[in-house]
Structure formats: structure tokens, C-alpha cells
Amino acid sequence: MTKIKAWFSAARLRTLPLSVSGIIVGAALAHFEGYTKPSIFWLCILVTVLFQIISNFANDYGDGVKGTDNEERIGPARALQSGLLTAKELRLGIIMLSVIAFAATLILILKVFTKEELPYIFLFIVLGLASIWAAIKYTVGKSAYGYNGLGDIFVFLFFGLLAVLGTYFLFTKQFAVLLLLPATTIGLLCVAVLNLNNLRDVQSDTKAGKNTLIVKMGFNAGKKYHLVLIGLSLITLLFYFLLVGWSPVIMICLLPYVVLGFHIIRVIKIKEPKLLDPELKVVALSTFLLALLIYFSLNYFL
């Protein structure tokens, strides 16, 4: 494999649809209220994709140097684990991409806010830096929060609340409590993807000392937790649509939950963690599809 292919492998492009789901929903909520700014939307997508790739590089590096990624790991081989990239190369890639991501964040911020809105500029600079920090510190360093069972919280905050509400605010410069409901929906589904990943890797994580929430609660309890995550995501979505104005056409947004229903049945029946690997794609793509359906439902059917 060439170095270019190795970098694309480390970037894990298959994770990108899930990462932009919150941006799509945030834009959908803004467009529903009449705010349509394509340049802001695509800049948000760019920044989020860069953050996700930083996270993927950092996960590859952090798990690799700690020995968590080894021959017992289930799933696609990592770049550092398989020797395609060195630790030094990955560190350099993380640093360079972080600089690019921060520059893109500044461009987005300066496009949205005027010099009279300095508090907002400062706030979003802090949020941008926090996003880069969170992307890296999930597995990198002695205090990596992913090794202490805090990954679920950070995923919920950054992929759910910040992605949806932050995008909405960049369009509208407003906030509404009601929007916490769809933001929670996306956040819970993103946590469900992480939970599946941790369920799959529970055995290798336990041996490596990576104390994810699943390692702490156990495999069977983790499957019940997975059911709760997806169930609550459906409840918050239904509450939002009931409050914003129910329409029979909105039923199309429930289609991904048909897929997720069968997914949950399979997860509950699975006894071997390695058999969960194909299910990650199911939840990730269902979340992405849901985001698209929310966009079209709000802006073309209501």
C-alpha cells in the first residue's frame, strides 16, 4: 500500500457521513425558519470533516502507541498497528491537520460574525479549539478520556448538541430550547455508534486497560444500554415533531427506525462481540439517512 493510500485508510472516510449528520440537522432547522446560506453550510461541513479526520488520526495514534490496537483487535487494521504509517508520521499529520482545521474554523467564524460581535467570535474560537482538543484527547495522552469511560459524554456533546445547535446558531444567531430535542436525537445515535464499537472491542479493551463504559458495565448491560440510546433518540424526535407541527409526511423520518428496530433485535441476540462489527455501519448510515430525511421533511413537506 502506498503512503497516500495509507493516509486515506487512517482518515477512515466511512466515518464521515455520521460526523456531518448533526450539521445537516442544524442546517435543516435553520432553513425551516428561512435561513439559507450555502457557503456557511459547506464551511460547517468542511470544518466538521477535518475535526473527524483529526480524531481518526489521533485514535489510530493513541491506541497504537498504547498497544490497544494489536493482533486481537476486531475490525479494519489501523495504520500504525499494521506499520503503514509511523508514530512520527501520524503525529505530524495530526498537527498539520489541526492547523488547517483551526484556519478553516476562523474563516467560518469571520464569515458569519462582524467585528461588533466579538463575544460570539471569541465563543466559537473557544468551541473550535475545544473540538480539536476533544478529537485528539479521546485516546492520546495519559489522561485520554476515552480510557476513562467518558467517550459517550463527549460524543453526545460534540456530535449532538454542539453540531446541531452550533450550526443552527451560525445560520440564525439564535437559540431555542425546543431544538435540544433533535440535537439530543442525533447525539444519542452517535453515542450508539461508539457504544457498538466499544461492545465489539470489549475483550481487547479490557486486556489493554481501556476502561470504556462497556468495560465498566459489562457486555450484556452494554447491549441494554444500546437499546436505551436508540429508544430515547426516537422519543426525543417524536416529541420535537409533535411540538413543531405533526404531519403524516413526517412518518418518512421513522423509516430509519424500522432498520434500527431489526438492528436492535440482532444486537440483543449476539453473544460474540466480533459479530457486532457489521452493525456499526447500520447505525451510522441510518443516522445519516435520518438527518437527510429531517432536512427534506422540514423544508419540503411541512
Of 143, 139, 240, whose CA–CA distance to 194 is shortest? 139
Indicate left, alpha or beta for 77 from its phi (over 0: left) and psi (-120 to 50: alpha).
beta
Q: Which residue has the higher pLDDT, 183 or 75?
A: 183
Contacting residues for 76 by C-beta, under 8 A, at least 6 apart: 9, 12
Q: What average pLDDT does the structure give for the chain?
A: 89
Q: Is the pTM of this model over 0.85?
A: yes
Total of domains in the chain? 1
Range of the domain at 170: 3-301
pLDDT digits (tens, 9 = 90+) for 27-39: 999 999 999 899 9
Label residue 294 by pLDDT band (50, 70, 90): very high
We report the CATH number of the domain holding residue 134 as 1.10.600
Q: Taking 80 as the threshold, does the pLDDT of residue 54 lie above it?
A: yes
pLDDT digits (tens, 9 = 90+) for 92-105: 989 999 999 999 99
